[in-house]
Structure 1
Amino acid sequence: MGAVANAIDNRLRTRFTPSRLTIEDESSKHRGHSGHREGGESHFRVEIVSTEFEGKNRVARQRLVYETLKGEFDAGLHALALTTLTPAEDQKS
């Protein structure tokens, strides 16, 4: 796991105490697109399951994640594909 992925992991685990967290670097799929940089770590797919999302709609959940990762975006993280679930929603899927 690279430095940006580690930072994402640390911040999300600290803020949300997830029961499940997966982080996938998808930067290679975006070669030649805006925001891509050599060496990757510009585009990520994140799936996070946390009780912190209960009672919040999808947009509110995503805002929480983006606020948590503001420093990473300021440092060059370009894109984040998010799946945010409560434990109950995760069990249904």
Structure 2
Amino acid sequence: MGAVADTLRRKLEEAFSPTRLELVDDSDRHHGHAGHSGAGESHFTLRIESAAFAGQPRVARQRLVMKALADELAGPVHALSIVATAPGEK
């Protein structure tokens, strides 16, 4: 992965101390779509598991992730698909 993915991963680890973190660069699948510059690292799929999400509804979890990654979502990242769970959830 590149610099953007490394930054996303670092920020997520700092903010949530995840027990699981999977980040996939899906940019190639969005060639020709809005926000695809051809440079890559614009579209991501995230699966994150953290105790920080326990007791939080899905939308609140997504907002927490989006807040942690606000700078990247305002810049190089056009789309981020988020699945955020607490340990023991599926």
TM-score, structure 2 normalization: 0.96
Specify the alignment match of 1:15 in structure 2. 15
Over the aligned positions, Cα root-mean-square deviation in angstroms equals: 0.7
Alignment of 1:1-93 (within 5 A): 1-89=1-89, 93=90
User: Shift in Å at residue 37 of structure 1?
Assistant: 1.3
- Structure 1: distance between partners of 2:60 and 2:41: 25
> Amino acid of the residue matched to residue 42 of structure 2?
S
Identity of aligned residues (%): 46
> Is contact 2:4-2:76 (8 Å) kept?
no
Question: Structure 1, residues 15-57: CA drift from partner, whole Å, max 9, x if none?
Answer: 0000010000000110000000112100000000000001100
- Structure 2: distance between partners of 1:21 and 1:76: 20
> Is contact 2:23-2:44 (8 Å) kept?
yes
Q: Number of paired residues?
A: 90
TM-score, structure 1 normalization: 0.93
- Structure 1: distance between partners of 2:22 and 2:75: 21
Give 5+ residue unaligned stretches, structure 1. none
User: Shift in Å at residue 76 of structure 1?
Assistant: 2.2
